[in-house]
Structure 1
Amino acid sequence: MSLSARIDAAVRNAVLIGQGGIAPAQLSGALTYATTPGGARIRPTILMSVAMACGDDRPQLTDAAAAALELIHCASLVHDDLPCFDNADMRRGKPSVHRAYSQPLAVLAGDSLIVLAFEVLARAAHVAPDRGIQLVLSLAQKTGMPGGICAGQGWESETEIDLSAYHRSKTGALFIAATQMGAIAAGQESEPWFELGARIGEAFQVADDLRDALCDAQTLGKPAGQDDLHGRPNAVTALGVDGAMQRLKDILAGAIASIPSCPGEARLAQMVRMQAEQIMPVFAPVQAQA
């Protein structure tokens, strides 16, 4: 089974848990809608790649961790798109959940996905209870306060923003969770994997800032120009397009250099390079025309 097929199966099986029994049909449908199609599945791909680089001796736990992480990410997108936040009509090239199902169902769908993520981890924890507990703690810390994605959204309501803390929470948190949870699932210490996750997260934040500034809504599959519209701090405003591009290249080079020693280090470095190649070409044509 390919890595992408393994991830899709894990997410699909996780969503089925939330749709079991006698469940409200519209909310059940919203869970599937919010998680499919899955986009690039970057975070679970990183998680599984780290776990495989470290031996992946408990694949059932790795699958649960990858699914749980993706459910949290999908939940965050559902909530981000709501009128009280970004008020986005499109996500991944289709109507956002609140446009397709209504605002109340979007709130409930996001909440349900968050709760389901932790249920998925709890169901798999018997495979290696000590690892299961660590996975729950890691995901909780990167989801809530003070340094998770909830904090990242919360920073946007402050009059003075700590840009580093904002980016680390808003985008970096789930990438740090990806590298650390992959290590935990394979029975390794999580701390050495913090820097890799932080660097990948920072790279994707800068890339997202560039996409928002340079690409149109059709290319993005969601509204463009949101940073300027909402007055958010971003790399393009702070560094300019050329400066942000150079910053992105420097971060990605540092990410590869920060990979801890492990049996699958070379293969993992190749995965990071592949992710980098997927980011960089997006901006080349636009920059050339500038």
Structure 2
Amino acid sequence: MGVSQRIDTAITRAIRLGQDGQAAPKQLADALMYACTPGGARIRPTILVSVAMACGDDRPEMTDAAATALELIHCASLVHDDLPCFDDADLRRGKPSVHRAFSQPLAVLTGDSLIVMAFEVLARASAVAPDRLAPLVSLLARQTGMPHGICAGQGWESEDKIDLSAYHRSKTGALFIAATQMGAVAAGQDSEPWYELGARIGEAFQVADDLRDALGCEESLGKPAHQDEVHNRPNAVAALGVEGAVTRLTDILSGAIASIPSCPGEAMLAKMVRLQAERLTPGLTPVRV
């Protein structure tokens, strides 16, 4: 089973358990699956599984649980981000956003349910490697909430004065840091050496997202374009120009590869980072790393 199929199978299994057949409210149950499928690129869980495999992946059930939990948190954040009180986006992944398809109350409940489900998935896998559960829960919680997680990232948009570095690190980098560190822990390794790789990939993703938002269109992105300009958000294209942003992206990705800790799958991870770079920048100036 390939990494992509492995991730999708684990996520679908978790959502099915969360829907609980006829005992659950049908619309909310349907909204859970709608919010997570189709899954887009699944970049974050792919990174997590790739790191775990590079470190030996001696407890694949724990790796699958960690990857699923991370993706559920990511999907929850997208549901909440699209709400009228935030981005007020009508589209996500080429289809109506959850609040457009199911209503605003159900979208709030969907995001909340996915967050709770993420930690339930981890708890359910605890018997596989009990000593790894607490670090995984701690890492995911830290990169989800305050003061440095994705909640903080959204919170920065309500401030009059924005710390750009902290904003990008929280809004985008947090779940990439979670991906690399949780992948290592799921495989029984120390999380700390993997922080820099996650932070660099997260920074690269933010710059690439800024480029796509500035240069793309709604049809190609599967969501509204030019949102940074509409919402007057700080972004790499406004600060550096298109060519400067592409150069910055190349530099970040080169640094990401150089930061990969020594491990049996080091070469494989470098290849994965290059592949993700290509996926991040479709139709843009090729990024060489």
CA-to-partner distance for each residue in 1:137-193, whole Å, 9 max, x for gaps?
A: 000000000000000000000000000000000000000000000000000000000
* 1:4 pairs with 2:4: yes
* 1:131 pairs with 2:132: yes
Equivalent residue of 2:168, what SS? helix
- 1:251, 1:38 → 2: CA distance? 26
| Correspondences of 1:57-72 after superposition (within 5 Å) | 57-72=58-73
1:166 maps to what in 2?
167
1:19 maps to what in 2?
19
Q: Which moved more, 1:134-143 or 1:276-285?
A: 276-285
* 1:118 pairs with 2:88: no
- Runs of 4+ deviating beyond 6 Å: none
1:288 maps to what in 2?
none
Query: Are the equivalent residues in 1 in contact too, given 2:73–2:118 (CA < 8 A)?
Result: yes
| Correspondences of 1:127-206 after superposition (within 5 Å) | 127-206=128-207
State the one-letter code of the partner of 1:12: T
CA-to-partner distance for each residue in 1:211-261, whole Å, 9 max, x for gaps?
A: 111101111000011111111111111111111110001001110110000
1:218 maps to what in 2?
219
Q: Which moved more, 1:93-102 or 1:128-137?
A: 128-137
- 1:113, 1:17 → 2: CA distance? 12
- 1:221, 1:117 → 2: CA distance? 25
Equivalent residue of 2:167, what SS? helix
- 1:284, 1:218 → 2: CA distance? 20
Could you say what the CA RMSD is over the residues aligned between the two structures, in angstroms? 0.9
Give the fraction of aligned pairs with identical amino acids, expressed as a percent.
77
State the one-letter code of the partner of 2:159: E
State the one-letter code of the partner of 1:165: A
1:109 maps to what in 2?
110
Cα deviation for residue 279 of structure 1 reads 2.1
- 1:110, 1:225 → 2: CA distance? 25
State the one-letter code of the partner of 1:18: G
- 1:53, 1:272 → 2: CA distance? 13
- 1:125, 1:163 → 2: CA distance? 37
Structure 1: any 5+ residue segments left out of the alignment? 286-290
State the one-letter code of the partner of 1:272: V
State the one-letter code of the partner of 1:247: R
Cα deviation for residue 277 of structure 1 reads 1.7
Cα deviation for residue 46 of structure 1 reads 0.2
- 2:94, 2:223 → 1: CA distance? 6
Q: How many residues get paired?
A: 285
State the one-letter code of the partner of 2:2: S
Q: Which moved more, 1:12-21 or 1:276-285?
A: 276-285
Query: Are the equivalent residues in 1 in contact too, given 2:91–2:224 (CA < 8 A)?
Result: yes
Equivalent residue of 1:153, what SS? helix
Structure 2: any 5+ residue segments left out of the alignment? none
Cα deviation for residue 268 of structure 1 reads 1.0
- 1:67, 1:122 → 2: CA distance? 12
- 2:209, 2:138 → 1: CA distance? 28
Q: Which moved more, 1:137-146 or 1:274-283?
A: 274-283
- 1:278, 1:90 → 2: CA distance? 20
- 2:283, 2:146 → 1: CA distance? 33
1:43 maps to what in 2?
44
TM-score after normalising by structure 2: 0.97
* 1:264 pairs with 2:265: yes
2:281 maps to what in 1?
280
Equivalent residue of 2:125, what SS? helix
Cα deviation for residue 17 of structure 1 reads 1.8
Cα deviation for residue 282 of structure 1 reads 2.7
- 1:38, 1:212 → 2: CA distance? 20
